[in-house]
A and B are shown apart, each in its own frame.
Chain A
Amino acid sequence: MGSICFDKVDKVFGAGSGVLKALEDINLIVADKEFVAIVGPSGCGKTTCLRMVAGFEAPSAGTISVDGKVIIAPGPDRAVVFQQFALFPWKTVRGNIEMGLRNKNMPRAQRAPLVEGALKLMNLESHAEAFPHQLSGGMQQRVAIARAYVLDPAVLLMDEPFGALDAQTRVVMQEELVRLARLNPRTVLFITHSVEEAVYLADRVAIMSRRPGRIKGIVDIKAVRLAEQWDKSERIEDVMERESFVHLRSNIWKSLREEK
């Protein structure tokens, strides 16, 4: 379970003359186990949307609910993967991944196989005892994803998770995320600046307008992906060369260009 519902959500920052309307009338339903990517011009309020689902901010009007329950605070049912990883530098890879499970008061014997599973899932077994600063950026983000996945959250929130990575690492991570998403489907809300990334990863792509951010359009990717059997391709570049992919990408790109 893990459907997200934005219902007439507005977000205003500041007060008086410094008031800033960041989001206006956001309506969006992300179905259980659906992967939705949000794209939009810088400053349009993508991060704000995600932070409200996480419970770090509250809407100024309207409600956001997960499985029908209005969000009031952050919690492990909505795991966040931050752009800057936000790993605890004083904890080992294992310590970082284990933190959420310890918070659930899960006994050690029960935690161990879950942590091992998450380490394995993200190819981190040989680095379990390393500290974050000893890892490359790509590995750090893998730890952050493992830390989120191990909680078995209803919803995964990712804010440009690959934004801080170099192009090559990024492709590897994208492929891994697709593998994860097919293997172990989750409700995912994913923010990116890369239209390609959005089309490659998502079931649907929501396009936002300039500030105050609204959702100006939603593009269904999944139908095309299934019809064209993208998932049969081993590699991201094979998918990206397909006509159906190029077509979707340029449509979204044009829609975004109108906003610049």
Chain B
Amino acid sequence: MEPRLQPLETIAYGAIGLVTFFAIWTIVVLSGAVPHTFLPLPTAILTRFTFLLTHSFAGATLPQHLLASIDRYLGGFLLAALVGVPLGLLMGWFRWLDDILSPIFDGLRFIAPIAWVPFAALWFGTGYGGPIMIIFAGAFSPCLINAHRGARFVNASLTEAASMLGTGHFRTITEVLLPASLPSIVAGLRVAAGLGWQSLVGAELIVAANGIGYMMVQGQANLQTSTVMAGMVSIGLVGFGMDRLLRLAERAVGKRLGRPA
């Protein structure tokens, strides 16, 4: 790649991209090539967005829908991290566990989270449990895989040093594999966060009675494309914000381990 640009230049180019994007969009709609009901104007979406911030639609305001979604999301994401990361580390250390579990997980991970919707609804209901299972299905694999790979590719001399120091399995995993894999794990969490968030909205389109996805379905039912789009915008914004936070975490981890990210 070319050398890095100054931060201001980066921002300027980003702004050029966004402005051009919205300009073309506006022109296409205003020219009449596409009816407003198919594609609302950016300004209409913005108006609708601000309206929904304070006005109830489909039972709640947009922030309330978002909070309901984030609540579910955090549940599913934390569950995926709390199960996936330790399990990945264990699989990275114990070959036999890897041999037992890898074929299963390698198959499961190709099933799109949405494909679990019927079972999620059946097993855990459509309120909290069902969506959580779907988020879990989306976020679990990256947590597991990155912890697994991180642990597997730890510098062999570090695990050898641990074993010659008489380090037991538990401590080797918590004090050697875990810190050594942290960069990989955090990268996995970042991917998992994105996939989980996508899965959540997909799940809510089908199985929830509130949340941002539910709001969008109701908007669609009422032929309010601008409501659907306002939902999409807020999904994008929240996802972007989360990713930024995790990126900061990634940097912090790199610094803590003495190597710049």
Contacts and interface: CB of A to CB of B under 8 A. Distances in A.
A133 B157 CA distance: 17
Contacts of B157: 82, 84, 86
A69 to B, nearest CB: 16
Contacts of A147: 165
A73 to B, nearest CB: 8
Contact of B258 (A86, A89, A103): A89
Contacts of A100: 165-166
A65 B175 CA distance: 30
Nearest to A104: B166
B165 A99 contact: yes
B171 interface: yes
Contact of B165 (A55, A89, A103): A103
Nearest to B167: A103
Interface in A70-88: 73-76, 78-80, 82, 84, 86-88
A89 B164 contact: no
Interface string B149-180: 00000010110111111111001000110011
* Main SS class of interface, B: helix
Contacts of A88: 158, 161, 175-176, 179
A102 B165 CA distance: 9
B258 to A, nearest CB: 4
Nearest to A77: B166
Interface residues of A, number: 29
Contacts of A102: 171
A22 interface: no
B258 A80 contact: no
A66 interface: no
Given A90-B179, A100-B166, A82 B161 contact: yes
* Main SS class of interface, A: loop
Contacts of A134: 258
B160 A99 contact: no
A39 interface: no
B258 A76 contact: no
A79 B164 contact: yes
A131 interface: yes
A80 B167 contact: no
A9 interface: no
A103 B171 contact: yes
Contact of B164 (A78, A84, A90): A78
Nearest to B161: A86
A56 B166 contact: no
Given A80-B160, A99-B165, A103-B171, 18 more contacts: A54-B160, A74-B160, A75-B164, A76-B165, A82-B160, A84-B157, A86-B157, A86-B160, A87-B161, A88-B161, A88-B175, A88-B179, A90-B258, A99-B175, A103-B166, A103-B167, A147-B165, A151-B165
Interface of B: 155, 157-158, 160-168, 171, 175-176, 179-180, 256-259
- Closest A-B pairs by Cβ, 4 of them: A133-B258, A76-B166, A100-B165, A86-B157
17 contacts: A74-B160, A75-B166, A80-B164, A82-B157, A82-B160, A84-B157, A88-B158, A88-B179, A89-B257, A89-B258, A90-B179, A91-B175, A99-B175, A102-B171, A103-B171, A133-B258, A134-B258
